[in-house]
């Protein structure tokens, strides 16, 4: 009896979760612990995993991108720097951040290790809503993010805005889209609330119905029809369904 060869989905990228640590405890976060759990990346093991991916058979794919995530990734920038230096120059690298620590000095550190993408979690344009949405967030945090966002937009590093779409921010989606246009942001990554971690505990109060999600994307589609902005949208449900430019 012959055995069927296993089928593998080719891999071209990997996310390294650097830490669970974060200064915020957002109700919609897919992590369950945040600042109460120490689980930082093991740098030697991470580098070994990179080498294994580089040496993998061609049918398993080839490593083209690496993103560092958290927790709040920039709270452990020293670990990011150690792993990033082991990444080949032909592999593009990025970080995911809430933006609070994304100062000009931090942008310079990211450039020094050839970080070419930043995914900044951005969920409202309103200071008062930020404090509600970002459990543990303050008005000072909001002001820092707004300033850091403007600096990141002109830093030369490709900038994405990541939006966790739910009941708390669906009313400002159009404002966020317009802000992305004004800043020259390359991509909006819109993800409906994922029922995992703390978001799973709060899914009934946070999640939108399918009909509400469709209405939100249809509203963004109308803005695009009017402006023909270069901002593209990466999301589920597929943004192409509403005539938006998609990445």
- Say if residue 186's pLDDT is above 90: no
Whole-model pTM: value is 0.85
Mean local confidence (pLDDT), 217-230? 75
- Say if residue 188's pLDDT is above 80: yes
Distance between CA atoms of 12 and 10, rounded to whole angstroms?
A: 7
Lowest mean pLDDT among 1-10, 14-23, 158-167: 1-10
CA torsion sign, 55 to 51 to 7 to 67? Answer: negative
Mean local confidence (pLDDT), 115-132? 94
Is residue 158 within 8 Å of residue 65, measured between CB atoms? no
Q: What is the mean pLDDT of the chain?
A: 84
């Amino acid at each position: 009896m012959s055995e069927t060869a296993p089928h593998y989905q080719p891999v071209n990228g990997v996310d390294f979760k650097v830490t669970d640590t974060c200064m915020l405890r957002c109700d919609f976060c897919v992590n369950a612990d945040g600042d109460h759990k120490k689980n930082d990346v093991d740098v030697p093991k991470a580098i070994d995993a990179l080498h294994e991916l580089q040496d993998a058979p061609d049918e398993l794919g080839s490593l083209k991108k690496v993103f560092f995530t958290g927790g709040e990734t920039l709270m452990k920038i020293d670990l990011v720097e150690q792993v990033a230096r082991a990444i080949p120059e032909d592999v593009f690298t990025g970080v995911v951040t809430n933006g609070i620590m994304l100062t000009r000095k931090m942008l310079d550190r990211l450039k020094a290790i050839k970080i070419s993408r930043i995914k900044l979690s951005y969920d409202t344009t309103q200071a008062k809503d930020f404090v509600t949405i970002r459990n543990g967030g303050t008005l000072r945090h909001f002001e820092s993010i707004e300033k850091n966002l403007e600096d990141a937009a002109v830093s030369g590093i490709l900038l994405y805005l990541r939006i966790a779409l739910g009941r708390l921010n669906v009313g400002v989606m159009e404002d966020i889209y317009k802000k992305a246009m004004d800043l020259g942001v390359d991509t909006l990554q819109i993800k409906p609330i994922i029922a995992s971690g703390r978001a799973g505990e709060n899914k009934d109060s946070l999640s939108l119905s399918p009909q509400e999600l469709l209405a939100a994307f249809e509203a963004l589609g109308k803005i695009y029809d009017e402006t023909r902005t270069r901002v593209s949208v990466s999301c589920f449900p597929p943004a192409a369904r509403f005539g938006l430019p998609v990445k």
